[in-house]
Amino acid sequence: MSRVLVLPALMLIAGSATAAPKPDAAKYGWHTDYATAKAEANRTGKPMLLVFRCEP
């Protein structure tokens, strides 16, 4: 039974090690510059959501 689970487990580990492509910020209306995002939030009266990521 354990042999049956080894291959799917290895495939899952190998698949998670690959980097996902970065989404196109402009396509979704995201801002990558803090000053631009702050100006847009002030102009529209909407709150900002900040996401801090460590990208190698």
| pLDDT computed for residue 3 by the predictor | 66
The verdict on residue 51 lying in a domain is yes
pLDDT tens-digit readout, 15-35 = 555 666 777 888 888 888 899
Report if residue 5 sits inside a domain: no
Report if residue 44 sits inside a domain.
yes
Count structural domains, the chain: 1
CA nearest neighbour of 53 among 29, 26, 27, 23 = 23
Q: Average model confidence (pLDDT) for the chain?
A: 79
Question: Would the pTM of this model clear 0.95, i.e. be above it?
Answer: no
Query: What band does 1 get if pLDDT is binned at 50, 70 and 90?
Result: low
In a domain, 15, yes or no: no
Could you tell me if residue 9 is inside a domain? no
Task: Print the domain residue range for 35.
Answer: 22-56
Nearest to 49, CA basis, from 30, 22, 36, 35: 30
